[in-house]
A and B are shown apart, each in its own frame.
Chain A
Amino acid sequence: EPEVTQTPSHQVTQMGQEVILRCVPISNHLYFYWYRQILGQKVEFLVSFYNNEISEKSEIFDDQFSVERPDGSNFTLKIRSTKLEDSAMYFCASKRTGVEKLFFGSGTQLSVL
Chain B
Amino acid sequence: KQEVTQIPAALSVPEGENLVLNCSFTDSAIYNLQWFRQDPGKGLTSLLLIQSSQREQTSGRLNASLDKSSGRSTLYIAASQPGDSATYLCAGGGSGGSNYKLTFGKGTLLTVNP
Contacts and interface: CB of A to CB of B under 8 A. Distances in A.
Same complex for A and B? Answer: yes
Interface of A: 4, 31, 33, 35, 41-45, 48, 50, 55-56, 58, 91, 93, 97-107, 109
Interface string B20-37: 000000000000101010
B26 to A, nearest CB: 14
Contacts of B34: 101-102
A32 B34 CA distance: 17
A44 B36 CA distance: 14
B49 A45 contact: no
B97 to A, nearest CB: 7
Contact of A101 (B46, B99, B101, B104): B46
Interface residues of B, number: 25
A41 B99 contact: no
Nearest to B89: A43
A43 B44 contact: yes
A50 B97 CA distance: 13
Given A99-B98, A103-B46, A45 B51 contact: no
A46 to B, nearest CB: 9
A100 B105 CA distance: 20
B104 A33 contact: no
B97 A48 contact: no
B98 A98 contact: yes
A4 B44 CA distance: 11
A54 to B, nearest CB: 10
B96 interface: yes
B103 interface: yes
Interface in B59-114: 89, 91, 96-107
B99 A56 contact: yes
A104 B97 contact: no
